[in-house]
Structure 1
Amino acid sequence: MERFFQSSFTIFFFFFFFIIFSSSDILQVHAARLLPIINENGGNSSSETKVYIVHVAEPNNTEFLHFTDKENWYKSFLPNTSLDSGDPRLLYSYHHVITGFAAKLTDGELKAVKSRDGFVYAQEDQTHILHTTNTPTYLKLHQDWDYDLWASSSYGAGKIIGVIDSGIDPDHPSFKDDNMPQPPQAPVWNGQCYWANKCNRKLIGIRALRYGWAPDPYDRNGHGTHVASTAAGNFVDDANVLGEANGRASGMAPLAHLSIYKVLYNNNGKTVGQSADILAGIDWAIRDGVHILQMSLGAVSLQMFHNPVAIGSFAAMRQGIVPLCCSRE
């Protein structure tokens, strides 16, 4: 388990509780259709192409009435819309995190894209590792302490936490909706549930993204389930470890709602995520209308303008969303 700087950890949870116990206005957004479920391995890609995140500047004196118009403009930067294999070249058209897109390009094709009017810069897709949070004991959180934040809170009721991670085990007892309030409705919440039979008043959104495909959002690593339950797991009575330490467990905001965005996948024994998918997950979370973004993953040794968590966090803050991510020594 990764260790965090105490200062970063304190700032992390200060903003976590600030947003839970205060209100914010969320920009009205429109939901889009879901992609079909495929296997976790995603689509095949040509060995001659790489995934690039391309930043562009909108043309002057041009107004895109619909996002499909902007997407068509994104496509105009590409040599064509599909690869020789028949797979789509364009992986993501970003709405909020950046003005730009993610696409598969050869080195020669990238040079052609760079020559187009409106091109700003392109970065090759990067791999990112997951991080893990620590226990809320550090914050002295306990439901029986009079001076605790819980004493004057509503346990996060009415707030939506978007978790960018490795998916979710929806059958875990932390995600039952016993005594949960009804979730916010449009225009506050515009998200969709990928598993219609798994969502409830606790889990109100589940989505998985992998290079433009929509794989199974089930958490095969356990990290996303751990993070989501730490943030907003419901009260679970008679919780124990191998029959010991029996008691009542919960997350730090047990009445908050959760929306899950799976962008981390198992790869050769490691759980990693790609910049393009991370940006897409944050983009969807902003569109859906979450109040908080939880991202226990990091981009080591990347400059801020190449770091998808930093870029996405800035876009989220501009929409009144509090982004939370971890740091490491």
Structure 2
Amino acid sequence: MLIVLSLFLSFNVTAFAQQGTGPFTATPIQPDSQFIDEASKDGKPDVSSLKLQSFVSPGGERLVSIIVELADPPLAAYTGGAVGLAPTAPAVTGGEMLDLSSADSQRYLDYLAGKQEAFKAQASRAGPDIRIVHTCKATLNGLSMVLPESKLEVIASLPGVVAIYPDELQKPDTEVSPGFISATTAWKQLGGQKKAGEGIIVGVLDTGIWPEHPSFSDPDPFSKSYSPPPVVPGSNGFGSCGPRSTCDFGNTAANPNDAPFTCNNKLNGAYSFIDTYKAVVGLLPGEFDSARDDNGHGTHTSSTAAGNGGVTVSIFGVPRGTVSGIAPRAHVIMYRVCAFEGCFQSDSVAAVEQAILDGVNAINFSISGGNAPYSDPVEPAFRSAYETGVFVSASAGNSGPTADTVNHRGPWTMTVAASTTYRHFLSTVSLTADNGDSLTLSGASVTDDISTPTPVVFPPTGQELCLDPFAPGTFNGEIIICQRGVIARVAKSFNVAGGGGMLLYNPTLQGLATDNHFIPSVHLENDAGAALLDFMGTHSGVMGM
């Protein structure tokens, strides 16, 4: 579902770039009515009904992560009212984008900083086990905190607190694609593929990026060099999280394969914004602690939206044609907000703030959330981005087609659903039972193959979904059958990594995905899955390859 989301984003920003109409212009949003939260106590948030995810920290503590919103509007939404402080919202100032360097902006940021420092001082009196991870002023006037759940009432009662949001762990939701969505027609109208997206900066919030990928080379495969970006990452300063690397690669202490990389005029920057994730969940051994992509999801969405044209690709030595992003001449900045288990909302909010500072024209967010936009803390950040002239494209999600399954319902995002091209990467699965009966199945795969007959087995009873890593020794090179659902597809192949391969089947019609799994894997549709289960249930000694 990720492809068309990014394509649609790129198609729009390409049009802005080529027509020379300037940045995306936002129409101010004014509500017809206001929702008054009755579940409050004396004007303070009622935290008794909050549904919080608790986590065991890397240090063994059971903690919760929250986002605290303070009373004053953020820089992007301030329309005036405080004595001596002029408005800063572009809707009032008339500016096309938020002017971060203006004297009025600096004065209002100082005002917010003073209020936040006062809040921090009061929060610190609640105990040393409260940790402030992010503070934001441009997109959301608030702070993210990791603390024991028993301290929530204390924080909610502090002066200036207007809302507390659960900081939820969200999930990240080809050469024929440009023609499939008619981008090739748009290219002709807008100056050709070799100009599409010129001068536009696309900010991608995702799992990171593989910077050496030819989709991000400078010069591009047509030998055309890139001009410097309109705004250099970090040149407008850093969000309230403080300075950090704008090209974050080369942390060989976490993983020796994290090679250093110097960003260029195509891949302008790459940040790591997984602060809350590291504080609450912690990285896996060997997981990259930088902006480098462990998963492949972020590299995929970035290259689909704005990867170079003319890139020749192959998988395991098999030529797969020539690919292009939809806005191939756009600049790219990656903001890594996701690690293996998912993406914390507070990390995403901090990244949106930095993206605004970096002058991005468009944000791509192929991540879940936003089905309740007025209680999801990432959505106000998107609204602030929208109101500063940034086009926000967000995923409609991987659920459906039943009612009430669409993500990102706020009117300030372009929420884009998936479609499917006619192209698939398919693999054949051959099964043979000990009585000589055989079954041949077809499924999606881009991983390596298994060329010798290998035992095919189910996980232990009750663990068919493969939700948690299995103990060492549970498997010894077998092909494991897992049912799709609940957690990310790729996580299942990690959980059964003691096996030699995985057959992942859909319990209902859901579509196929060519994921970059940890072990050789084939994804089967529900009809093939039903045939697999029937064959396994009526035969013994099944071998597969």
Name the TM-score, length of structure 1 as normaliser.
0.77
Q: Which runs of 5+ in 2 are unaligned?
A: 26-56, 74-81, 86-107, 220-224, 238-245, 250-259, 280-288, 401-545
Deviation at 1:82, TM superposition (A): 7.5
Task: Indicate the RMSD between aligned Cα atoms, in angstroms.
Answer: 3.4
Show the counterpart of 1:166.
207
Residues 1:237 and 1:16: Cα distance change in structure 2 (over 3 Å): closer
Deviation at 1:137, TM superposition (A): 3.1
Counterpart selection for 1:20 from 6, 11, 17 = 17
Counterpart amino acid of 1:243? V
1:306 aligns with 2:351: no
Deviation at 1:184, TM superposition (A): 1.6
Counterpart amino acid of 1:141? A
Counterpart selection for 1:206 from 262, 266, 270 = 270
Task: From the CA coordinates, give the structure whose radius of gyration is larger.
Answer: 2
Counterpart amino acid of 1:193? C
Moved more, 204-213 or 65-74: 65-74
Counterpart selection for 1:183 from 186, 207, 229 = 229
Counterpart amino acid of 1:65? D
Show the counterpart of 1:243.
318
Moved more, 159-168 or 147-156: 147-156
Show the counterpart of 2:360.
290
Identity across the alignment (%):
26
Counterpart amino acid of 1:99? N
Task: Give the 5 Å matches for 1:30-69.
Answer: 44=58, 47-58=61-72, 61=83, 65=110, 68-69=113-114
Task: Give the 5 Å matches for 1:1-329.
Answer: 1=1, 12=9, 15-21=12-18, 22-24=21-23, 44=58, 47-58=61-72, 61=83, 65=110, 68-80=113-125, 83-84=128-129, 89-131=131-173, 135-142=177-184, 147-149=188-190, 151=192, 154-178=195-219, 179-185=225-231, 190=236, 192-195=246-249, 197-212=261-276, 215-241=289-315, 242-247=317-322, 249-267=323-341, 272-299=342-369, 302-328=371-397, 329=400
What are the superposed Cα offsets for residues 94-113 of structure 1, whole Å, 9 maximum, x if unpaired? 12221111012333422122
In structure 2, how many angstroms separate the alpha carbons of the residues matched to 1:257 and 1:98?
26
In structure 1, how many angstroms separate the alpha carbons of the residues matched to 2:143 and 2:262?
31
Residues 1:285 and 1:3: Cα distance change in structure 2 (over 3 Å): closer
Deviation at 1:186, TM superposition (A): 6.1
Counterpart amino acid of 1:181? S
User: Does the residue aligned with 1:171 lie in a helix, a strand or coil?
Assistant: coil
CA contact (8 A) 1:55 1:99 kept: yes
What are the superposed Cα offsets for residues 118-166 of structure 1, whole Å, 9 maximum, x if unpaired? 11110111111112xx9333322238x8755553983111111100000
User: Does the residue aligned with 2:275 lie in a helix, a strand or coil?
Assistant: coil
Residues 1:146 and 1:285: Cα distance change in structure 2 (over 3 Å): closer
CA contact (8 A) 1:64 1:70 kept: no
Q: In the comparison of the two structures, how many residue pairs are matched?
A: 298
CA contact (8 A) 1:141 1:150 kept: no
Deviation at 1:278, TM superposition (A): 1.1
Deviation at 1:234, TM superposition (A): 1.3
Deviation at 1:260, TM superposition (A): 0.6
In structure 2, how many angstroms separate the alpha carbons of the residues matched to 1:171 and 1:128?
27
CA contact (8 A) 2:309 2:324 kept: yes
Residues 1:294 and 1:184: Cα distance change in structure 2 (over 3 Å): same
CA contact (8 A) 1:97 1:312 kept: yes
What are the superposed Cα offsets for residues 224-282 of structure 1, whole Å, 9 maximum, x if unpaired? 000111111113443345433433x2211111111110011112xxxx11111111111
User: Does the residue aligned with 1:109 lie in a helix, a strand or coil?
Assistant: helix
Q: Which runs of 5+ in 1 are unaligned?
A: 27-42
CA contact (8 A) 2:272 2:336 kept: yes
CA contact (8 A) 1:163 1:293 kept: yes
User: Does the residue aligned with 1:251 lie in a helix, a strand or coil?
Assistant: coil
Moved more, 44-53 or 217-226: 44-53
